Structure 1
Amino acid sequence: MEVQTPYRVTIPHSLNGPLEICADNSVVRMAVVERACAARLPDIWDTTGVYLLLDHLDAAGKWGAYVGKAAPGTLRKRLGNHLRARDHWYRALLIRRDTESPFHTSQVGWLEGRLYDILAEAELVRLRNGNRPQDHTMHVDDQASMLGYLPPILGALHLIGHNLTPPVATRRSPRSRTTGSLPPYALDTPERTTRRTKKHSEVSLADLMEQGMIQPGAELVSVSRLHPAKAKLTADARIEYEGIAYSKPSSAGHAVTGYSVNGWTFWEVETPRGPRLLSALRQELERRQASS
């Protein structure tokens, strides 16, 4: 039976089978496998892939995870090995490519490392890997095409209740004195703004363009590992992301993350001096204006 959601979820006729998830417009195929059913995976999972071993959520919504990869033809076998070698997990998320050409070894190596980085940054995740997986065999030109595999995987984790970050209200409570866990692009709370910013900056994207500090058509890249994204600066000083132009960096950042962010520290842009945060360019222009 098919459940109509942003992801196509195939529920097995038997409770012994995996719950398969496939995102629209993606060749990523995933399976949610309960530990008790791991030994009964169909042989279609004898392939190359990546897997996440998931722990139960605690009272605070935090959970442990182990990230691994499987060589050609061994994904199902790797999961079977972890039934004996690791007793912490209750559920696994398996990831393969749903085409005639499966992942090759450098792709799963890159994907394993990138997922490790994302989970290592996530507030609700405790990684069980001893060290970061290392694989440098994928050419840098091929890595950009692999970024599209990440959103379906992260969305599937959310779909099965394994969130990476707490709700915005919890993470940004004005009474909280613990701000070290906030990502650098998080929207400032009133408490933090009082300490850091004396007045609201009047510098806009149009001002930066007028001074030649950024150029129309320049590519903007998210600095967030949790929310990788690319956008473009339009000729009228707006940020175009997925076909929609936003007048403010924070609005474009919200379109990526789904929650409020400080867009000036969320986006960086390529300049003759290398990649620079929009906030750094804004501060530079403010200094110029103050000294003139």
Structure 2
Amino acid sequence: MDRDSLTITALVPENVTSPIVVFDDNAALKAAIVERGTARHLTEDWDAAGLYLLVDRSDASGEWGAYVGKAPSGIRDRLKNHERNKDDWYRALLVQRDTTHGFNSAQIGWLEGKVYDLLKAAESARLANKVRPGDETLAPYDRQALEMVLVSIQRLMRLMGHDPSSSDDTDASGAVRRDHFGVKLVQILEAGLVEAGDVLVSTNGAWPARARVAPDARIEMDDEFYDTPSGAASAAKNGPANGWDFWARQTPTGSVPLSTLRAELLERTTPPEH
């Protein structure tokens, strides 16, 4: 089996009114894919604390709206409330810990911010959240343990029909793509969003790796230098990879994907619409 694949158990009901329930033993997660109007069919075990994502149908260009939220007092009641008060979404992803004690409030808040970052950098998503949520009180050891949860959430989103991936920095021929105006790592470096010597870590628990940003904006890994994030990521995986999603800058308060830093740079440099 491909090491980069995700092994899950999915319980698919006979009718569309009940949710598809997914168990990911690697990340100790229980998730549900729920259609709008069916929250009343959620069982009492969804009264637990967790994270949720609401998505709109894709438009003609393939873009889709998204809203990420937390439910410290229980996901079921929060989803019922959104059925009444949010009009556009048609499908939801619910995520809770499949353990005795479940998520605590700080863990949910931190994950909420990380999923926001993921969607903000996604090529096709339009975030409905007005400001970035998050909880930076979470201990560093907790953040490392939750990185695998983020990997699982990203893949579960693909399973529900909404890919949160960001555009790669190069196409198959090696030419710079224009999806993100040809942004390169050197521009991220010049903007001060990363610094020479910064440690980069893999966001993919199936492919752990560490690298650092060289002064010339190349990426150094195992004494080899790579011109692009995807070049270094492909070497780490021994196969094709989107380096902007694969690598994250390590900071004292957690890790930030390069795709998120790229989105921040574009926000700074894109003229406001009139």
Question: CA 1:232–1:38 in 2, change beyond 3 Å: closer, same or farther?
Answer: same
Question: CA 1:178–1:6 in 2, change beyond 3 Å: closer, same or farther?
Answer: same
1:144 aligns with 2:168: no
After superposition, where does 1:248-267 map in structure 2 within 5 Å?
249=226, 252-254=232-234, 255=236, 259-260=240-241
SS in 2 for 1:66: strand
RMSD: 4.0
Cα distance in 1 between the residues matched to 2:237 and 2:174: 24
Contact 1:221–1:230, Cα closer than 8 Å, also in 2: no
Question: CA 1:112–1:239 in 2, change beyond 3 Å: closer, same or farther?
Answer: same
Q: Describe the superposition over 1:241-273 as per-residue Cα deviations: whole angstroms up to 9, x where unpaired.
A: xxxxx977555502559744569x958799xxx
> Any runs of at least 4 consecutive aligned residues in structure 1 with deviations exceeding 4 A, and if so which?
166-177, 226-230, 246-252, 255-258, 260-263, 265-270
Cα distance in 2 between the residues matched to 1:126 and 1:149: 22
TM-score normalised by length of structure 1: 0.64
Cα distance in 2 between the residues matched to 1:135 and 1:150: 15
Report the residue type matching 2:89 in the other structure. Answer: W
Match for residue 209 of structure 2 among 231, 236, 244: 231
Equivalent residue, structure 1, for 2:8: 7
Cα distance in 2 between the residues matched to 1:40 and 1:269: 41
Larger Rg: 1
Equivalent residue, structure 1, for 2:89: 89
Equivalent residue, structure 2, for 1:102: 102
Cα distance in 2 between the residues matched to 1:32 and 1:106: 24
Cα distance in 2 between the residues matched to 1:258 and 1:24: 25
Equivalent residue, structure 2, for 1:43: 44
Tell me by how many angstroms 1:180 deviates.
Answer: 2.8
Tell me by how many angstroms 1:98 deviates.
Answer: 0.5
Tell me by how many angstroms 1:41 deviates.
Answer: 0.8
Q: Which moved more, 1:166-175 or 1:39-48?
A: 166-175
SS in 2 for 1:36: coil
Cα distance in 1 between the residues matched to 2:208 and 2:150: 14
Gaps of 5+ in 1: 187-212, 241-245, 271-276, 278-292
- Report the number of matched residues: 225
Cα distance in 1 between the residues matched to 2:111 and 2:57: 23
Question: CA 1:145–1:86 in 2, change beyond 3 Å: closer, same or farther?
Answer: same
Identity across the alignment (%): 35
Contact 1:7–1:21, Cα closer than 8 Å, also in 2: yes
TM-score normalised by length of structure 2: 0.67
Contact 2:168–2:243, Cα closer than 8 Å, also in 1: no
Tell me by how many angstroms 1:15 deviates.
Answer: 2.7
Contact 1:29–1:95, Cα closer than 8 Å, also in 2: yes
Cα distance in 2 between the residues matched to 1:267 and 1:146: 14
Tell me by how many angstroms 1:136 deviates.
Answer: 2.5
Q: Which has the higher contact order (CA 8 A, sep 6+)?
A: 2
